[in-house]
Amino acid sequence: MPLATIVVPAFNVAKTLCETLDALLAQTFEDFEIVIVDDGSSDATYAIAKSYQTDPRVRFIRQRNRGLAGARNTGIAVAEGAFIGFCDADDIWEPGKLAAHVQHLQSDPAVGVSYAGSSLIDDNGDFLGQSQKPRLKNIEAVHVFKRNPIGNGSAPVIRRAVFDAIAFRPASETERDWYFDETFRQSEDIECWLRIALSTDWIFEGVPGLLTRYRISANGLSAATDRQHMAWENMVTKLTPLAPAFFTRHAPVARAYQLRYLARRAISDLDAERAQRLLLASLRESKRPLFEEPLKSAVTILATAALALGGREALAAIMSQRAART
């Protein structure tokens, strides 16, 4: 049996699936399988995925649409590897990513969740000059809640034993356990990571480097911010009974960070009104991000003001000046 499984959830990703799979098959660590889960696609995703089954390392499952969480759960259920990674079908793993995480997990049996930073790319696969550079060490539940060091769903490689520890089966489920909560269509990642952090003793730890290329779509970012905020609040409501004192203490600051993040997404989509509303809501919740992350907070405030007062050109000037300094 392979040591590692890479689960690839795929829904209408004919444009990017080949690039994702080719990068996974080029991993320098070779003892792995790929499980592609076609989550009810209506484009050429099915035909493309089937064409890769000529490689013995590739397996393919087709299911009715259950969302990203449901596709991941199906992949986990059939995975044969002791280590399970995820790569969304529009993201790209660097060649040495799996090797780095396998070595990390094998070197420390207390680490359950291994992750790394990510480079951001656009719809065409071009680098945006931005990255997610997370905290790597001494991760506690509060860090997962406030800043989500994992960053995105294509970043972690996780021990199978971690998923065994958090498995549950709703009364309506007749096929398999759930690990990610399929009632969430957004914030399913952070809900799972925080549930691991609050209910198990497994350690979260990162490895150096930008080992994932994480695709940022330019279309409709801010249109989803209200839904994403609602999903995040639903996550807090769901998990609060698990650790009431934890959420009472940390939810306001974590909410401020979440609202600031959504404001930055609205800025990226040039939605000035939404960016202002989200930024003001963040500041009302807590001023802690101003002191804990002064540079990022200051850039968010300046960018929001520039977009509101001067539009796209003023925002471009602010961002170009920042890029020149870095």
Domains contained in the chain, CATH given: 4-215 (3.90.550.10), 222-325 (no CATH)
Closest CA relative to residue 140, chosen from 249, 213, 300, 290: 249
pLDDT (tens digit per residue) in 270-321? 889 999 999 999 999 999 999 999 999 999 999 999 888 877 776 766 666 5
pTM of this prediction? Answer: 0.93
pLDDT attached to residue 322: 55
Dihedral angle, C-alpha 276, 279, 281, 283, nearest 10 °: -130
Tens digit of each residue's pLDDT (9 = 90 or more) over 149-192: 999 999 999 999 999 999 999 999 988 999 999 999 999 999 99
What percent of the chain lies above the pLDDT cut of 90?
84
What's the pLDDT score for residue 218?
A: 65
Query: What is the pLDDT, as a whole number, of residue 220?
Result: 47
Output the DSSP codes for 190-259. Answer: HHHHHHHHHH--PEEEEEEEEEEEEE---SSTGGGHHHHHHHHHHHHHHHGGGSHHHHHHHHHHHHHHHH
For the cut 90, the answer to whether the pLDDT of residue 92 exceeds it is: yes
- Spatial distance between the Cα atoms of 85 and 157, rounded to a whole number of angstroms: 4
| Backbone Cα Rg of the chain | 20
Measured CA to CA, the distance from residue 267 to residue 45 in angstroms comes to 32
In the DSSP assignment, the letter for residue 29 is -
Q: Is 14 left (phi over 0), alpha (psi -120 to 50) or beta?
A: alpha
pLDDT over 50 (residue 326)? no
pLDDT at 267: 87
**Both tokens of residue 44?**
């050429």
